[in-house]
Structure formats: C-alpha cells, structure tokens
Amino acid sequence: MRRPARRARVVAPAAALLLISAAGCGNLSATTKDRAYTVGVVTSQTGGASQLGLGELRGARLAAEYVNAHGGINGHRLRLITADDQSNPQQAVLATRRMIGKVDAIIGSSVSGDCNAMIPLTTSAHLVHYCLSPGIKPKPGSSVWSASAHTVTLAQRAMEYWKNQSITRIGLIYSTDASGEDGAAAVRKAAAGQKGMLVTADVGYDPTAVSITSQLQKVASSRPQALVLWSTGAGAGVALKGISQMGLDLPVVTTDGNATYAFVRRIADYMPKTLLIPATQDFWWEHSTRGSATRSLEQAYHRRYHEKYGEEPDFGPGVAYDAMLLVGDAMRRAEGTPGGVRHALERESGFPGVVGTYRFSPADHRGLTIDDVAMVRVTRAGFSYVGR
Amino acid sequence: MNMVDSIQVVLGGLIVGCVYALIAVGMSLIYSVSRIINLAQGGFVVLAALTAVSLQQRLGTSPFVVLVLVVLIFTVGLGAVDIVVMRPAARRATPDQVLLVTVGVLQTIGGLLLLLWGSLPYTMQPFTGAKPLVIGGVKIATQYFWIVGALALAVAGLWFLLHRTGLGLTMRATAQNPEAARLNGVDVDRVRLIAFGISGAMAALAGATVIPMTFLQFDTVTPYAVTGFIAAVIGGLGSTAGAVAGGLLLGVLEGVFSRYTSSSLAEVAAIAVLIILLLLRPAGLFGRVSEVRR
C-alpha cells in the first residue's frame, strides 16, 4: 500500500507541473518527444478576425491529416502546434516567441497587422513564415510568404471582366482602413490599365459609419455602370444596405475577404441583383482548366472538409490548406538541411494547390497569377462561377 | 450638385445626427444629475441594438414588441449598472477616476458583445418595409421616420418629465445642486437611479431604431461613444436641447463634408468646425459658462 502512495507523491506534482507548463504554453498541442516535423500555426480563433482564423485552422489541420495519412514527411509525422492570437498583434508576437525553437516553420496569422508583428521574430529565427493574409508584400529573398492572390491581381480580373461586359464607368467605394485603401489603390491601377475604363467616383468612408448616404449619393451622381465596394465586415454591410435603400440598381464587385458563407447569410436581404467577387480556384474549381489530377485534388479537399466540418469551405480554409501542403512538401525536399525549407519552397514551380497553382521564385513569394482568379457570383446559396 | 442631391445629403446627415443626439441626450441627463460623464452610453446603444436583433430572431415577434422589450430591459439594466458600478465608484473615486470607470464599462460591453455575438456584423429588417418613399426625387427610407420619432419621443418625454411632474422638479433640483437637494430631503441616489434608467431607455430607443438602417458589431462601441460625447460637449453638457443640436450638427457636417471631400478629411473638417465653435462658445451651444468653470 505504501508504493502507490509514494508514487502518487511523485507523480502528482509532476502532473501538476506538466499541467502548469501546458497552461503556460496556451494552446500548444504537441510534445517534442518523438522526431517529427513541427509547424506552428498562429490564427485568429477569437476576436475580430476569427471569421477567417477559425476556417484557416480547420484547413491547416485537414492538410496535416492528409500528409500524415499519406506517409508523413520522409517517414516522419507532421505535427502542428497551434495558437490563438485573439486577433491581436501582441498575442501573435507572444505565440510566435513561444513557438520559436520548437517548430520548423510558422504558418499565420490571419490578418496583415498580426503577420507584420510576427515577421521580425520569424526572420531573426530564420524560420519560413507563411502569412495567411494576402495583405503582406514579402521582400524578395526574405523568409516570408504571403497567401492567396495579390489585391492588384483581384482588381485586374474584376476590371477585365467588366471591360468584356462593355462596362467602362466604375464607381469606387472603399472603407478607409488598411485593407480598403489597399484595394482602392489596386482598383485605380487596374482601371488605368484598361483602355477606356473610367473611375467616375472615388469615395472612401469610415468602416464604422452609421450610414454612407452622402458618399453613395456622390457615386450615384457620377452615373457609373457598376460599383466596386472594397470593404469587409460591418463596413461592407453598411454600404450594401445603403445601396439597397437608395435603390441603386447596379452590379457590384466586392473583395474576396467577403467570400465567406457567414457574411453572405448576413447580407442576404440586401444583396444587389448582381454581386460579384474575384475569387481563387477553390471557388470555381469545377470550371477550371487545370486538368483531371487537380480536379481530383479539389474534389477530395471539398469532400473531406465537408465530411469533417459539415459545411463547404470558404475563403479561410483553402489558403491554410495550401500553405500547410506547400511547407510540408518543401520540408520533404529539404531533408533537414539548414535553410533548406526556404530554398525548397522558392523552387516550387507548378505546385497544384486548391487555391491555385503555385510558381514561387526568390522574387515571388506568393506564386499565384491572374490565371488563378475568376469572377464568382454571390447568391443566397453560395458562390457560382460567371467567367473571367 | 442639384437640389435633390443636396437634400439627400442633408437628410442622411440629419438621420445620423438623430442617433448621435439620442446618445448625447442620455449622456447629458446623467451628467446633469450626477456629474458623471458616462462614455459607456454609446456602448449601451450597440448592446441594445444586438439585443433587439437576437430578441427578434428568437421570438419572431414584431419589431414594435421588440422595441418595447429592449426599452424595458435597458431601463432596468442601466439602473442595475448604477447600483452595482457607478454609485460605489462615485462614492470612492474622484470624477476623473469615475470617467475611467465608464471607459472600463465601455470596454466590458465590447468584450461582452464579442463573447455573446461573435465578430460578425448584425442587422435587422426595417420596421415598416424596405422600400424607400420617393418625395420630389428624394429617397427617404421608412426607418428614417422611426429614428426621428425615437428622438422626438425621447426629447418630448424628458421635457414632460422634467417640467410637468413633481419627480422632474426633484430631478432639476438635484441637477442644480445635489447637496442642497439632499439637505432638503431628496433621495439623490434614487434620482440618479431614475436618470440612469431613463438613459438606458434612450440607449434602447437609439439602438433598436438604428440597427435596421446599418450593421453593427462588437468594435462599433467606441465610435458611438466618441461621437455621442462630442455631440454632448458641443451642445453643452447637461443641456437636452444642446445635445440634440450638437448631434444633428455633427451628423449634417459629417454628411456634407463627406459629399465634397474624402471621408478622412470629412471627419477632421467636422471636428475642426466644432473645435472652432467651442473656442467661440466654451460652454457649447446651449451650456452655461458656470458649468464650464465648475
């Protein structure tokens, strides 16, 4: 009877210590006992960006499961250490600090502000850092990557589509936050690149505004044939509601940041007759010309996501799924050489992902082109391909 | 810009101004009775709005019933906030510290909204149809009438209470000099509790009538708090008429400047005009200089 008691005296504090250290590590979900490739995933699982972050975490987990189900990386398991940055750059920094030394690469976070806060740490630790926000512009030769299509590419696709539809007079409305300003600059540039295309009104608004009647009146009086609305969340909702209330019967293009089912449900009653989004291949893969192998990959991704989470994937999961597969593939090819993951990733050329086909180089750490972007129409049922 | 365009811009500004005014009136009432600048008032407006959305989704009842329910909930709720938070804070802390307490309450509301409603924006159907009325080419959303009505009801109700009832006389006496009122047997705590309750009703009126016109989410609490506070200061803290005038002026200035300039410049220009106004009239449009000196 004395042995168990003695063991309990030893085991209990040890277990308590383990619990404390686990609590201190936030959501750290892996031990370092066995040899495995470890990727840190920092996403915004709570807070303002959780609309993206929750889906991203699901996508990353799905990809890791896929890798492990197919033999892992060079026979080793791919393991994730996950953390919630609470949509807060300070928390993103803390999570990154805790991960450095324990991980071979970091994926995340969900928004550019958090990624920017993490970059100095991941750079000094010489870790490959795959930011899931398209808002980051990685410097050539750096260890930072950025997910999804560039804002300029999205705007270019939207302008080309409208030009093909003989729509040349565009009213531009955008929220005056970082993402809105970035989108507006991209639209101006893309419109200037299309002969005969004219931005008839260029109007910003506070994303927390109660109503944007004045701004919409300004746009309406410039007699545009179509509108571009570059804003997400409440800002986009206020604008769409204003457009509906003012009876502006014009087609509207908005950013792919609104390509989520949750957002579509919110604006269902105020949706313009034609609401379009320049979206990546995961939204229109059934119409893609990438070939049967990639079609099977997309099919498997959508099926497995639906089986696991009971819903269709939207904007968040695809970028994280691809990031995890890309990093995993680079780890496999680097075979543990120092700095090898970055070089291997830069040499990825023609990697088929669900978001698009990646062609990286030392100067291009995004890898997607306008061929990976097409216009999709938003309806109450979801997203449907309309063309390029 | 033609006449219809101008009227549309001014009308839009006036409606936004009505919401600012409702926040400012609630703030002013509390300030006049308790000398507390309740920055959380804007937060309660957003909380009331999202409560209205949830009640309508759960109960599936008419928006008018929802409006009444939200007014009742927030009348009682803000009374509870006074008893649990403000009254103990006011007894122990200086006015500056109490101001910080109200900032804390505002942050708590933001956190509560995120916890209970998540990070997505919310809206509600207009009370009486989504199709706007068109009068002389000017489009008027039917919800505009409800927002104007809510402000009119709040102001008229408050005027009647303060100037035509015994309770109002007691409240005015307390606002004039709380210590003298206390010495004359007035239960100052009770008066303040009633003022908080009324400000809760106003927050509910503002929130429930504005949500069908806009989208709100957890991070919209601070802009509402700031604009409501600016409107109250411009009008003259403690003055109901001033709060209404300040709110409407701020709304129209923002609307007109947004029409002619960029959005960022519009906000700065509107605030700049109001700063100039405050330099010329430090007590605000309807405030008394003695209030400023005190």
**Residues in chain A within 8 Å Cβ distance of B256:** 214
B216 touches chain A (CB under 8 A): yes
Indicate the average pLDDT of chain A. 87
A101-128: average pLDDT:
93
Residue pair B203/B150 in contact (Cβ under 8 Å)? The answer is: no
Domain ranges of chain A: 31-148+302-370, 151-284+374-387
Q: Do A215 and B216 touch (CB under 8 A)?
A: no
From residue A334, how far is each of A330, A344, B19, B252, B268 by CA, in Å? Answer: 6, 6, 60, 62, 54
Query: Closest Cα of chain B to A36: distance in Å?
Result: 35
Q: Do B263 and A46 touch (CB under 8 A)?
A: no
Mutation target for A interface from B5, B15, B19, B123: give the one with most A CBs within 10 A: B123
Is pLDDT of A29 > 70?
no
Mutation target for B interface from A54, A208, A223: give the one with most B CBs within 10 A: A208
Q: Do B9 and A214 touch (CB under 8 A)?
A: yes
- Domain around B51: 3-293
Picking from A47, A214, A247, the nearest residue to B258 by CB comes out as A214
Determine the pLDDT at residue B288. Answer: 66
Determine the pLDDT at residue A28. Answer: 35
Q: Do A210 and B210 touch (CB under 8 A)?
A: yes
Condensed to tens digits (0 to 9), the pLDDT of residues B113-126 reads 988 988 788 999 88
From residue A82, how far is each of A25, A57, A77 by CA, in Å? Answer: 10, 8, 16
Picking from A210, A221, A247, the nearest residue to B16 by CB comes out as A210
On whether the A151-284+374-387 domain is CATH 3.40.50.2300, my answer is: yes
Picking from A206, A209, A214, the nearest residue to B259 by CB comes out as A214
Task: Report the side by side order of strands in the sheet with A77-84.
Answer: A77-84, A36-43, A105-108, A128-131, A144-146
Determine the pLDDT at residue A360. Answer: 95
Q: Which residues of chain B have pLDDT under 50?
A: 292-294
Determine the pLDDT at residue B246. Answer: 92
Condensed to tens digits (0 to 9), the pLDDT of residues A368-387 reads 999 999 999 999 889 999 99
* Pick from A89-93, A229-233, A338-342, B261-265: least confident: B261-265
CATH number (domain holding residue B14): 1.10.3470
Residue pair A77/A339 in contact (Cβ under 8 Å)? The answer is: no
- Tell me whether the omega of the peptide bond preceding residue A109 falls within 30 degrees of 0, making it cis: yes
Q: Do A266 and B123 touch (CB under 8 A)?
A: yes
Segment (H or E) for B135: strand B133-135
Condensed to tens digits (0 to 9), the pLDDT of residues A47-64 reads 778 878 999 999 999 999
CA distance B222 to B208: 18
The more confident residue out of A239 and A208 is: A239
Q: Do B5 and A217 touch (CB under 8 A)?
A: yes
Q: Residue A77: phi, psi to the nearest 5?
A: -70, 150
Is pLDDT of A352 > 90?
yes
**Residues in chain A within 8 Å Cβ distance of B119:** 47-51, 87, 233
Where are the strands (E) in chain A, listed by range?
36-43, 77-84, 105-108, 128-131, 144-146, 169-175, 198-205, 226-230, 252-254, 275-280, 349-352, 357-359, 373-379, 382-387
Helix axes A315-334 and A292-309, enclosed angle (nearest 10): 120
Determine the pLDDT at residue A77. Answer: 94
Picking from B2, B123, B263, the nearest residue to A204 by CB comes out as B263
Is pLDDT of A22 > 50?
no
Where are the strands (E) in A14-136, listed by range?
36-43, 77-84, 105-108, 128-131
Determine the pLDDT at residue B1. Answer: 54
Mutation target for B interface from A213, A241, A254, A264: give the one with most B CBs within 10 A: A213
B139 touches chain A (CB under 8 A): yes
B123 touches chain A (CB under 8 A): yes
Q: How many domains does the structure of chain B reveal?
A: 1
Query: Closest Cα of chain A to B118: distance in Å?
Result: 7
**Residues in chain B within 8 Å Cβ distance of A206:** 223, 263-264, 267
CATH annotation of A31-148+302-370: 3.40.50.2300
B215 touches chain A (CB under 8 A): yes
| Cross-strand bridge partners of residue B270 | none
Share of chain A above pLDDT 90, in %: 65
Residue pair B282/B269 in contact (Cβ under 8 Å)? The answer is: no
Where residue A20 falls among pLDDT bands split at 50, 70, 90?
A: very low
CA B17 from centre of chain: 10
Alpha helix ranges (H) inside chain B: 3-34, 41-59, 63-81, 87-92, 95-117, 142-164, 166-176, 178-183, 188-210, 221-235, 240-260, 263-280, 289-293
Residue pair B250/B274 in contact (Cβ under 8 Å)? The answer is: yes
Q: Do B123 and A241 touch (CB under 8 A)?
A: yes
Nearest chain A Cα to B253, which residue? A214
Condensed to tens digits (0 to 9), the pLDDT of residues A276-320 reads 999 999 999 999 999 889 999 999 999 999 999 999 999 889 999
Interface of B with A in 8-27 (CB under 8 A): 8-9, 11-13, 15-16, 19
List Cβ neighbours of A153 (8 Å cut-off, separation of 6 or more).
A278, A368, A369, A370, A373
Query: Closest Cα of chain A to B120: distance in Å?
Result: 7
Condensed to tens digits (0 to 9), the pLDDT of residues B132-174 reads 888 888 888 889 999 999 999 999 999 999 999 999 999 988 8
Determine the pLDDT at residue B290. Answer: 52
Is pLDDT of A5 > 50?
no
